[in-house]
Amino acid sequence: MRGTDFISELEASIEGSLVGRDLEAVDPWLEIAADKILETCRWLKESCEIRFDGLQCITAIDWFEPDPKKASKVKWEPHTEVVYHLWSTKARASLVLKVKLPRWQGNEPGKLPELSSVVSVWRGADWHEREVFDLSGVQFNGHPDLRRILCPEDWEGYPLRKDYEMPLEYHGMRGR
Amino acid sequence: MVQTLDEDQRIIEFDVRTDEMLVNMGPQHPSTHGVLRLVLRTDGEIVSELEPHIGYLHRCAEKIGENLTARQWIPYTDRMDYLAAMNMNLGWSLAVEKLLRYQVSEKARHLRVLIVELNRIASHLVGMGAYGLDLGTFSPFLYAFREREKILDLYEEVCGARLTYSYITVGGMTADLPPGWLQRCEAFLDQFEPIIQEYHTLLTTNAIFVKRTATIGVLSPEMAIDYGCTGPVLRGSGVDIDLRRDGESIYTAMYDGYAFEVAVMKNGHYPRDHKYPAVPKDAVLGDCWHRFFVRMLEVVQSMDLVRQSIDRYSQCKGALGEPLKLAEKLPAGDTYLETECPKGQMGFYLVTDGTPIPWRVRARSSSFSNLAVSPELCRGCLIADVPAVVGSLDVVMGEIDR
């Protein structure tokens, strides 16, 4: 990430969007408030001096330790983290955005955490968001066609969650 | 009996259907490059909508990565883009090395350039040959595979495998080159160079090939960037981006001191460092022909790079260096790195918590984003042009489904 001037501009333009940062990390990142992600992304693409016109990747990370012995030692609270990797074709610069979400909406198991879709900003986000929804279980509001992409449509559970258990049976096929 | 007009029309409607029809292509279709299913909504011969269905080759590579150490995951990267496994190995190795802030020896650096550029040639040969197959000509495929076979033979000598190499690994390579290999590699290049002209005669400048590919599936630069298209698909639209030159420093440092041209149309012409065939009059920037042509130019550029790296590698004094331990401890943190693979920019993201086993592994596939644009390219084209458009994206399903 080259130049950090735009960060203060971002703070001024969209109030309350920036909730954390680490500019010393291997890949410097900004943490964005979950309810401001769409606004922030649109600003970064359209109004920011470095136009982040490309979306490289969307990843969801499940911060959850299923082993109770290890769980007591970890330093973080269980949560889901969505990471956006942006790229500017003109400036050849990249930017990492992180968003923290609860693992389940309102701590109700089975109710997916919700986040605004950025398909209206980058069309390429379409399949990436479908993949995150499919494998990690994040509900993207405003996505034009949010359904599973890699797993079959009647698949149950979200395989990239740490507490996922492989089904024992699927349409008469043995799971393990 | 005299028929009324009403009845007459019903008979016609029954015989000739004029409504929309859904046509299913794949998942086992010879022109879909693996297990890809395309559902076309057609109006006569015109495709009004195309929808790719993927996931037939999904093997949860990312989940597997959460249970293995970084070096143990190398064989799984082989099975993503199995036509350019060396490039996949390199992408993951560099991502881990970036997190470890580790630098490989000078000799390993030149050897890596040699190996990955040779793999780029092999991958583009498959892309070219299979594209001929998509368009209904069989012979270019055989000519392409004849030469690719020789590259695979070279790789077999290096690491014992012909497809899934696991040769480049975190911290270096698993072994040095066998004696006499460089001479055999040079002999291959000398023999291969004049053959490229044959490929141009067979396909690039072939009148039928040009008719089938020019002005078909035009991808504008804006749409290419919006969809996250990369590699030859992006450069075929005239966007001058190649991570070997524009990427992150850990990756561009590998190509430090190497001379090569980015195969892209700039100021109305392609690079002129070699003798290339002229662009046909019908071709429009961003169409299937240009995507194909960019790959053909990259083959020549990669040959140059291989030649340069052979020189540098053989002049390099000192040891190749040992790769890192199988269970090397990774510092807590996260890093993302994209490298320029033959199909596009392949990204690896890894999140670690201080143990040798990554907490989360993510592979951002270039073919995934390149295929996502296919519904836009196929809207309004003929059914017969669908294989031409999808083939020109040169996707590999192992990488899309992971």
The closest CB to that of A150, out of B55, B360, B362, belongs to B55
Average pLDDT over residues B311-317: 88
User: Which residues in chain A are contacts of B336 at CB distance < 8 A?
Assistant: 27, 56-57, 85, 94, 96
> pLDDT digit string (tens) for A7-31?
877 777 777 778 888 888 888 888 9
Range of the domain at B318: 62-401
Q: Which amino acid is at B228?
A: G
The closest CB to that of B228, out of A25, A56, A149, belongs to A56
Lowest mean pLDDT among A60-64, B322-326, B398-402: B322-326
Which pLDDT belongs to residue A45?
Answer: 87
- What's the pTM? 0.87
Lowest mean pLDDT among A82-91, B2-11, B279-288, B382-391: B2-11
Report CB contact under 8 Å: B345, A56: yes
Average pLDDT over residues B128-142: 88
Q: Is residue B132 part of a domain?
A: yes
Segment holding A100, helix H or strand E: strand A93-101
Contact B370/B224 with Cβ under 8 angstroms?
Answer: no
Cα B367–Cα B372–Cα B374 angle in degrees, nearest 5: 100
Which pLDDT belongs to residue A89?
Answer: 86
> pLDDT digit string (tens) for B201-237?
888 888 889 988 988 889 999 999 999 899 999 999 9
Helix/strand/coil percent split, chain A, to 5:
25, 25, 50
Q: In a 10 Å sphere around its CB, with 0-12 CB exposed, 13-18 middle and 19+ buried, how is residue A8 labelled?
A: exposed
Alpha-carbon distance of B219 to B234, in angstroms, equals 9
Which pLDDT belongs to residue A110?
Answer: 81
| pLDDT tier for residue B289 given thresholds of 50, 70 and 90 | very high
Contact B52/B85 with Cβ under 8 angstroms?
Answer: no
Alpha-carbon distance of A158 to A151, in angstroms, equals 9
Q: What is the DSSP string of A31-69?
A: EE-GGGHHHHHHHHHHTSSS---EEEEEEEEEE----HH
Total domains in chain B come to 1
User: Which residues in chain B are contacts of A149 at CB distance < 8 A?
Assistant: 54-55
| pLDDT tier for residue B30 given thresholds of 50, 70 and 90 | low
Cα A110–Cα A113–Cα A117 angle in degrees, nearest 5: 135
Which pLDDT belongs to residue B276?
Answer: 84
| pLDDT tier for residue B181 given thresholds of 50, 70 and 90 | very high
Distance between the two ends of chain B, CA-based, in angstroms? 65
CATH number of the structural domain spanning residue B280: 1.10.645.10
> pLDDT digit string (tens) for A93-149?
888 999 999 988 888 888 889 999 999 999 989 999 999 999 998 999 989 988 899
Q: What is the DSSP string of B182-222?
A: HHHHHHHHHHHTTHHHHHIIIIIT-HHHHHHHTTSS---HH
Average pLDDT, chain B: 87
Q: Is residue B89 part of a domain?
A: yes
User: Which residues in chain A are contacts of B239 at CB distance < 8 A?
Assistant: 89
Which residues does residue B47 pair with via DSSP β-bridges, in sequence order?
Answer: B42
Report CB contact under 8 Å: B62, A160: yes
Report CB contact under 8 Å: B54, A149: yes
Q: Is residue B73 part of a domain?
A: yes
Average pLDDT over residues B41-46: 85
Q: Which residues of A touch B (CB under 8 A)?
A: 25-27, 53-57, 59, 61-62, 83, 85, 89, 92, 94, 96, 122-124, 126-127, 135, 148-152, 159-160
Which pLDDT belongs to residue B156?
Answer: 92
Average pLDDT over residues B92-116: 91
Largest Cα separation within chain B, whole Å, is 99
Which pLDDT belongs to residue A7?
Answer: 80
Q: Taking 60 as the threshold, does the pLDDT of residue A168 lie above it?
A: yes
Domains assigned to chain A: 5-174 (3.30.460.80)
- Token pair listed for A16: 């309350």
User: Which residues in chain B are contacts of A151 at CB distance < 8 A?
Assistant: 55, 58
